[in-house]
Structures are given as structure tokens and as C-alpha cells.
Structure 1
């Protein structure tokens, strides 16, 4: 879509006709509109969501799953107009190529199906029915799980689809939710909410999605004071700001920025496997244009294989270039262009100084691969930019990551099959919570332990009814 306007909100029935709309240009010829909500509007919005919670509380969880699953199938159906609209709007709003939009939508929507959501609840609870009524769990008590009446979720917008996943988690727990997505993730949550409203009257009462510019407009006490739980995705600055605004009695679930790391074992660097390894790594780096918290930004490549790290980096550069033809990166903003220019200029100076640093780059600033023999941890905020560092033994990776313990999460690994668990155990000392393959790194399962905890942790409570013994 080269020109157009997208209304980035979907509000409950009963919210007055919005006369005041703000607008932001996300690219040349395309803008996003969003409501200007004053304190009175926010008060009404929250009141409606809280009142509407009774409807979803009375809805069997199986029916909630069924409705969500139907919408997910629409996003997967290549003939469905909803899918076409989503792909069309993702390109300008998320800043990705059409090919990347298809890849993201396919990967995300596969985890929103009824089958996957049923499995998620079965893994998290003894029975999904525990969300509907009391279930006998042992000889002394019955138990029921219930979500907060009102869930406020603030998204970061770096990866499209994350907002939908957060929205689904709240609805499965029968919470009313107000989702404020980031600008890069407005398309899928808004369209998903609109489609859900068509599936059941219940979702017309308990669900709201609305973007606004968080830098210019605070969430406001009218919303924060009523939330039972506040979920925040974003920078430490964003998390700290919202934590300071909410009442001390309100639960906060925060997902901060994370640094992705990749480990390449010598076993994956044989003459026969080096290219395939590079292709897997390139795909893992390039998915989401490397904007996800699961995206590898620095690689430690083990010495001692048939192909040395300094030679393998050329293979990786070739794989990145080939992938750019199949899965092009999105258009860069002016600020992003300047960032790439500065990064490459700095690396070129080091290369000329004979430090052993090598620079490989794609045309139009599409990707950047840096070979750096200095082992200290470095990374770049540029898209599709990765540091490659040679290492004698993957087991010493933990010593190089120790200063970044607070921002580590996912480590992708290839090769070293027989050593994987020992390496993973060592990485627990620096805060790593997920070790996986490069192929799986961009696509964690719905039931993964996000930052080491259940995806539902902090979003619900349990009530026990104990057997009364007089």
C-alpha cells in the first residue's frame, strides 16, 4: 500500500463517536490515525471494559479458544480479505518488506490456532476447565484460576504480532483488556480485535485496542488506577516510567529489551556443513529484520573446525546477501540510514588500522557482517547487523557474557550437540533462559518460559476451597 490511512483503534460498544483524531505519518503517503482521549473518555472506556468483564467471565474457555482460533485461521487463509488487509498494512506500519510481512504473519498466526491454545492451557493448568469452575486438585481442596478484571497491556511495537499474543493471553484468562500497541505493531492487534467482535457479542464489550503516542500522552490515572495488572513490553526507561505511575498495589509484568546471542560449534563448520550452517544463521538474524528480542546480534564461532571462523564469516556474508534477495529487508528511516553509515565508517577505520576487523556489507545498507577478533561483547542496534567473534571453546562464552546478565535471554546454538546441555547449564550463570536452534530462535512455542517464567505468570490468581473439617 503506497498511500492510505489506517485507523489504529477498536473500542467497545458504548464509547462515544470519536470526533478528535490525531494522525502520524509512518512513511511517505501513509498515515495512522488514533483517538484523542481525554480523562472523561478514558473513564468511560475503563468503566465499559470492567462492566463487560462479566460477559467473558461467563463464557466457557472452550468457546473463547474456538472464537480466537477462527480468527487465526482467517489470517492463515490466503484467500481471506482479512489476511490481505493485514499484509497490506503491515508493510508501511511495521516498516517491513511484503515478503517479510508474509513470513511474520505465517509464523505468528500458527501459534494462535485453537489447537495450539488448547495445548498451551493444558501445559499451564491441570485442566483448562479450571478457568471455568472449581476443579478437584487433591484430597483436601478444589481450585479455580481467574484473571484480573481489567488488564492493561502496553506494547513496544518492535515485532508485529506480539500485541495479538498478549491480547490472547488476557482473553484466555477471561480478563477485559486495553491493549496499547506500539506504532510498529498496530495492524495485527486492531484487525484481530475487529474480527473477534464479529465472532461474538462478548468481545464487543471486554476488548479495546488503541494506539497513542506515548511520548506525548501519558496513559493517565483514570486507566492505571483501575488496572488489576499492567503488562509492559519495552525499554527499561519505559518500564521504569510506567512503574512510577501505577499504584503500589498494582501488579506489574515487565518484558524489557533483550540481547540475542548465537553460538556456532566447530562440528557445524565442516566443509560440507559450513554453508548450511551459514544459511540457518542468516535466516535467524534476518527474521523480523533482527528487531526481536530473540534475534541473534552477536555470534561466537568456535575454532578448530574444518572451516576457520575468519573464513566462515565470508560464507555467512554470502548467505546474508542471498537471503536479502529472497526476503528483503524493510525500508530504513533516515535515522536508521545514518546509524548504518556511522557503524560502517567506524568499522572501516578499524579495518584500515590492521586490527584484524573485517567488514562485509550488502548494497543499500541492507545487511552488515563484522568479523572482530576482540572477544568482548559488542552489538549494534542497526537492522541485520551482526558481530562475529572467534572463540577457542564455547564453554567460555559465559565469561564473555557476564556483564550483560540483565539483558540476556535467548541463545541459539548449532553444532556441539553432545555438549549442548553443559553449555546451557553454564549459561544459567549469566541469566540465559532459553537455549535453542537458530531455526527455532525466532519462533518460541506459545508455552515457552518468557524471560524464565510462565507466559501467564502475574496475569491470574488461584483460589482454593479447602475441605472443611470441624
Structure 2
């Protein structure tokens, strides 16, 4: 690989010579240096003008044609030998330290979501009739007609290092016929350009409406320049990063925010008896290990109802399952600073386990995984790298109460329960703040149909135009 690598995608109508080079802050121990191309602060309006023209071409496509292009592109990515996937795998491994197997698993999970059948389900669930994005459609409740209008331009601000994740917001924006500026994250800046490059081979009109760029997190002028041109903004990040983005938004702009979230698993004795301890542990290991636990959907803790199979039994089985999973899909290389922090946490956990009979500690010889048994939920660090705590609870009904300290950030709960106890606990978790409940083993594979973070992410991007109380609607019953 070269010493410096450009991570931008530019439409055919952009002259790269007019853009400025922005070096990616990827850390002192990064094996490769990256840079993106972006306009100067005063040149953002000109870029918007070009994207507006690209949007007009995009708007002439039907939503069915857009879904078809995304479906065909992601079908190609399902082949692990697809040329763009091979190059993306190499680049993501170099950027993140994830093992090639972990990256491939992430690509399979993420890009398998954007097939035609699923995308049409999303559109129907959030918009009713997808064709409202193409033309006015009959609305019987209104006794008139309705049209959904997507933004001319959406800016997507990415965060973190989850392989393939930038495709999610890009796909959502394209479904509503929006041109897109994608600001990639320093933790994984390479994937987005590969994805759009592959999309260009299927439908150049779509790819010509996308710019993949980068600016440093402290570059307020670049952030303001991009956001100021946008009709909508989709943002990922921690509290400070999201707050900084909100400060640049106007009241007319649509905004979808995905801030810091925490997920957890919980299993009852009835579920363990029904499924089997070893199988539940295998499923939990899958949930924890996918995306190397860097995605918000990955559990940081597992609560275990006490009974015939104790929390210690579960922790021991989970440690074995984590080891088996890591043998097939290794963690990869952890950045030096993260590795040092992980070792410090491990040392603290080992000391606690040695001095407290209610605690326990299991780990890989390297950094591939760590399991700890603790008597109560104290704190969830959410640092990833396959580190999980097992916590005992007295009864199934205690699960929501035990998770209450996480309520403000609770996202995804893998609930292993059966019968009436499942429905009772699930309802309590929903009231607590959880926005997704799945079975253990399915936590890491949410469908894009799910209302991400509890909100309809596609319909939040559109503005509706209704025709009502007009003589034309009385005489016309078709679609226009």
C-alpha cells in the first residue's frame, strides 16, 4: 500500500483540482495515512449547486428503479470475491485492525439488509405506498391525494469504525431521492467510497448524486459549510459530537440523530431449559462478537435469572463459546491505546475475582475476548473488543429493574424468555426505553425495517404535500 490514501468519492462533474486535501486523524499507530478531498469554506454553495443538478436527475428515477439498483449492488457484495468487496476488506482491515473474517462477517450482516424485498418493506411500513415518492397518490383518509418529497441534499456525519455502517444512512437518503454528502469517520474512512464506486457501475445517476469526503472533528468551518447547504442531516456520534452538529442546524432542516446507545442481553431459567445452556451461550457469543462489539446493537452485559443454571454456569459456558467463535473469527489487532485500556480493565477484573467469591473472570490468552462475572451492574463502558459482564438477577421480573441504570441509553435487548414471562418483561423493557427486543443470537442482525433508535428514519426525511378540499380530487380517482 502507498503511504497516503485518498478515501473520497467524487461525482463525474466534480473537478478534484478545485478541492482541498484534509488529512484523516487516524492515530499515531495507524499503519496507513488517509486523506479526503473537500471544498474550501467559501466553495460549499457551489458544490450544493452541482448536487442540486444531480438531484434533479435522481428525481427522474422511480423509487422502484432506485431499489433495483441498490438490490443489484448489494447482491454483488454478497459474493466475497467481488472486486470492490475484496479491496474494501483489505482497506477496512488496514484501517481498523479487525481480522479479515470479522470484516467479512460485518459486510454480510450490514449489506445483506439492503435487498429489494427488505427495502420495499421499509418503504411500505414508513410511507404506506412507496410510489408516493414518485407522484401524487390517492389518500382515502384525506379524501384527496398525497406526495412525499425527500430532501434535495442530505449530509451524513459518520462515527466509529463499524465496517459497512455508512451504507445504512446512504441507502435511506437515496430511497427518498436525496443527493448526499457523506463525511466519513476517522476510525474507518475507507468503505463508503468503495460502496459508491460499486453503485456507479450499476446506476451512475445514483453515484453522481453522492460525495464522500472528510473533515476533522475540530474543523467547525467545514461542518458548518456542509450542514448549511443541506435540507436534512443524519448524524452518528457521542453526546459532544451530536451537540456540535445540532448547533449548526436551522429550524427548517430535518435531523436524524443516532447518539451513544448501550445494549444488553437477558436470559431466564425457562429459556435456558428450553434452548439449552450451551446453545444460549453460543448465541450470546455471536451477538457479542459481531462487529467486534463496536456497534450499539452489541450487548455489553448479560443478565441471568438465578436457578438450576447459575450466572456462573452461564459465564463459564459463554467463555467457552467466545473462545470457539474467536477461533473461527478472530478479533484482529487492537490499537495500542485501546489495548492498554483493555489490559488495565482486565487487571482490575482479575483482582476483583480473586478477592470476591461472587465474582469471576475468564479471558483469552490474547485480547480476543473477556468474560467477567459480577454481583451487580455497576457501569457499562461500551468500549467493544468482545468484553462482556454476566450479572445475576433473582427473578425474571427483576430484569427491567436491573437495567434501569442504562435506561436513558438503552437500545437493543436480547431477551431469552418464554411464554407469558417474555411478554411481561418485554412490555416493561419497552416502557423502560428499549427500542428493539430480539432473541439471543439475533441481536447483531437487525433488519433495516426496524425503527432504528425507536424512530422512523426514512419518513423523518420527507416532507408531505397533501391535496385536499379541491374540486379536482372529486373528479379524479387515479394517481398523478
Fold equivalence (TM over 0.5): yes
Of 172, 176, 183, the match for 1:173: 176
The answer on whether the counterparts of 1:236 and 1:257 sit within 8 Å (CA) in structure 2 is yes
Give, in angstroms, the shift of residue 156 of structure 1.
0.9
Of 386, 392, 396, the match for 1:390: 392
Match of 1:291 in 2: 294
Of 252, 255, 273, the match for 2:255: 252
Secondary structure of the structure 1 residue equivalent to 2:330: coil
Q: Which moved more, 1:278-287 or 1:259-268?
A: 259-268
Secondary structure of the structure 1 residue equivalent to 2:159: coil
Match of 2:476 in 1: none
Give, in angstroms, the shift of residue 357 of structure 1.
1.7
Match of 1:193 in 2: 196
Q: After superposition, give the CA deviation of every residue in 1:132-165 in whole Å (9 maximum; x if it has no partner).
A: 0000011611011111111111111332222111
CA–CA separation in structure 1 for the residues paired with 2:314 and 2:241: 39
The answer on whether the counterparts of 1:413 and 1:437 sit within 8 Å (CA) in structure 2 is yes
CA–CA separation in structure 2 for the residues paired with 1:270 and 1:196: 47
Give, in angstroms, the shift of residue 449 of structure 1.
1.1
Q: After superposition, give the CA deviation of every residue in 1:335-373 in whole Å (9 maximum; x if it has no partner).
A: 111111110121222223335221111112221111011
Give, in angstroms, the shift of residue 36 of structure 1.
4.9
Q: How many pairs does the alignment contain? A: 468
Secondary structure of the structure 2 residue equivalent to 1:269: helix
CA–CA separation in structure 2 for the residues paired with 1:3 and 1:278: 43
Match of 1:277 in 2: 280
TM-score, reference length from structure 2: 0.92
The answer on whether the counterparts of 1:99 and 1:327 sit within 8 Å (CA) in structure 2 is yes
Q: Which moved more, 1:109-118 or 1:435-444?
A: 109-118
* Relative contact order, higher structure (CA 8 A, sep 6+): 2
Secondary structure of the structure 2 residue equivalent to 1:186: coil
User: What does residue range 317-328 of structure 1 map to in structure 2 within 5 Å?
Assistant: 317-328=319-330
CA–CA separation in structure 2 for the residues paired with 1:9 and 1:375: 43
CA–CA separation in structure 1 for the residues paired with 2:178 and 2:20: 28
CA–CA separation in structure 2 for the residues paired with 1:260 and 1:185: 22
Give, in angstroms, the shift of residue 23 of structure 1.
3.8
Match of 2:158 in 1: 155
The answer on whether the counterparts of 2:369 and 2:387 sit within 8 Å (CA) in structure 1 is yes
Instruction: List runs of 5+ in structure 2 lacking aligned partners.
Output: 473-480
Q: After superposition, give the CA deviation of every residue in 1:296-327 in whole Å (9 maximum; x if it has no partner).
A: 0011101113x221122111111111111111
User: What does residue range 11-410 of structure 1 map to in structure 2 within 5 Å?
Assistant: 11-18=10-17, 20-24=20-24, 29-138=31-140, 140-216=143-219, 218-270=221-273, 273-305=276-308, 307-354=309-356, 356-376=358-378, 378-410=380-412
The answer on whether the counterparts of 2:133 and 2:148 sit within 8 Å (CA) in structure 1 is yes
Q: Which moved more, 1:105-114 or 1:405-414?
A: 105-114
Give, in angstroms, the shift of residue 3 of structure 1.
6.4
Give, in angstroms, the shift of residue 109 of structure 1.
1.7
Distance of aligned partners of 1:271 and 1:56 in 2 relative to their CA distance in 1, 3 Å threshold = closer
CA–CA separation in structure 1 for the residues paired with 2:62 and 2:380: 49
CA–CA separation in structure 2 for the residues paired with 1:434 and 1:120: 16
Give, in angstroms, the shift of residue 227 of structure 1.
1.1
Give, in angstroms, the shift of residue 170 of structure 1.
0.6
Instruction: List runs of 5+ in structure 1 lacking aligned partners.
Output: none
Distance of aligned partners of 1:241 and 1:28 in 2 relative to their CA distance in 1, 3 Å threshold = closer
CA–CA separation in structure 1 for the residues paired with 2:274 and 2:463: 54
CA–CA separation in structure 2 for the residues paired with 1:357 and 1:173: 51
CA RMSD of aligned residues (A): 2.2
TM-score, reference length from structure 1: 0.93
Q: Which moved more, 1:292-301 or 1:248-257?
A: 248-257
Secondary structure of the structure 2 residue equivalent to 1:288: helix
CA–CA separation in structure 1 for the residues paired with 2:449 and 2:185: 23
Q: Which moved more, 1:15-24 or 1:415-424?
A: 15-24
Distance of aligned partners of 1:78 and 1:347 in 2 relative to their CA distance in 1, 3 Å threshold = closer
Q: After superposition, give the CA deviation of every residue in 1:69-122 in whole Å (9 maximum; x if it has no partner).
A: 221111112342122112222211233110011111111221122232223222
CA–CA separation in structure 2 for the residues paired with 1:312 and 1:68: 41
CA–CA separation in structure 2 for the residues paired with 1:70 and 1:380: 35
Secondary structure of the structure 1 residue equivalent to 2:107: helix
